[in-house]
Chain A
Amino acid sequence: MINELLFMNGYGLYVWSAFSFTLFSFLVLFLIIKIQYTKEKSKFISKFGSLNSERAAIAKSQSINKTILSNTSNI
């Protein structure tokens, strides 16, 4: 059963490399986008932290800014 799944009548190398390439591409794209997201979010948080109270209040009045600050999700 395992041998048949691995070798697939001699086509195993082709099938497994096609599936591996697909899943590897998914992982790479996901990581690239996640890194970009984390970088922009930490930049936003650090910039927000450096604002004085008056400017911070103005910035916080915008709903998107509020959502960015309250959203603790990693993705």
Chain B
Amino acid sequence: MFKYFEPSKIFSITSKAPKYVLFLFIIILSIGLTEALVLSPEDYKQSHSVRIMYVHVPAAWISLGVFSSMTLLSVIGYIFKIKNFFLISKSLAPSGLVFNIIALVTGSIWGKPTWGTWWAWDARITSMLILSLFFIIYLVAWRIYENNDKIFKVTTIITILGIINVPIIKYSVDWWNTLHQPASINILSKSSIHISMLFPLIIMTAAFALFSLLIFLMKYNTELIKIKNKGLDRL
């Protein structure tokens, strides 16, 4: 089954895909921005500041999803010795980090009109900050150990340690008394968010997911070409 993950097979798709993904991303983002900034209603309590949710929540979701995927890929890659999984994981990291930063910054901007402060050492916010440190440590490890066999072990350990933080982020609002509000959207039970706000949120999440895919494809292609450059040196 893993032969389908060979770089030569994947590259034939990833080299052509970015331009189509970019096109789709621009269309979905335009719809999402119109919905989020113009068409969606204001909140009865938070007024227009609720619109920050349309960038803050998708960014946090994508960031958590990316880190979870990186961990899964690193662990499977390490167990079954599939180097390409590490390359995929490495290519996912930049978009994960940027989405994490976006979630922190937009959360801070949203905090000022809602809580009256830019920052609080609240469980949800602090655990998100810790996740961004794991993204940074992961990317720095690739820089330090790039040409060393240790890299696979080191990055797998970093992702395993980091993944412990992911359920803490998710359940921090239930486990502790926090300034951050509890989840409004539940997959298994009824969501407390109205459809008029849920729709733009879904569209913006789709746009952000497409952007993450675009960056992943471009980064993966770059990494493969980098490897091939080294291969040409050895010829």
Interface of A is mostly: helix
What residues on A are CB-neighbors of B81 within 8 Å? none
Once the chains bind, are B225 and A44 in contact (CB under 8 Å)? yes
Q: How far is B106's CA from A33's CA once the two chains are assembled, in angstroms? A: 23
Nearest Cβ on chain A to B126's Cβ, whole angstroms: 20
- Interface size of A by CB at 8 A reads 40
Once the chains bind, are B37 and A67 in contact (CB under 8 Å)? no
Q: How far is B228's CA from A2's CA once the two chains are assembled, in angstroms? A: 52
A17-B109, A62-B8 known, 16 other contacts, Cβ within 8 Å:
A8-B42, A8-B51, A11-B113, A15-B37, A19-B33, A19-B37, A19-B51, A22-B59, A22-B106, A33-B215, A34-B218, A37-B222, A58-B235, A67-B11, A71-B15, A73-B16
A27-63, CB under 8 A of B: which get 1 and which 0?
0011011101100110110011001000100110011
Q: List 14 A-B contacts (CB under 8 A).
A: A11-B49, A21-B102, A29-B95, A29-B215, A30-B218, A33-B218, A33-B219, A36-B219, A37-B222, A47-B232, A47-B233, A55-B235, A62-B8, A71-B15
Once the chains bind, are B48 and A11 in contact (CB under 8 Å)? yes
What residues on A are CB-neighbors of B221 within 8 Å? 37
Once the chains bind, are A15 and B229 in contact (CB under 8 Å)? no
Out of B16, B109, B219, B224, which one reaches A18, CB within 8 Å? Answer: B109
What residues on B are CB-neighbors of A73 within 8 Å? 15-16, 18-19
Q: How far is B98's CA from A64's CA once the two chains are assembled, in angstroms? A: 29
Once the chains bind, are A15 and B101 in contact (CB under 8 Å)? no
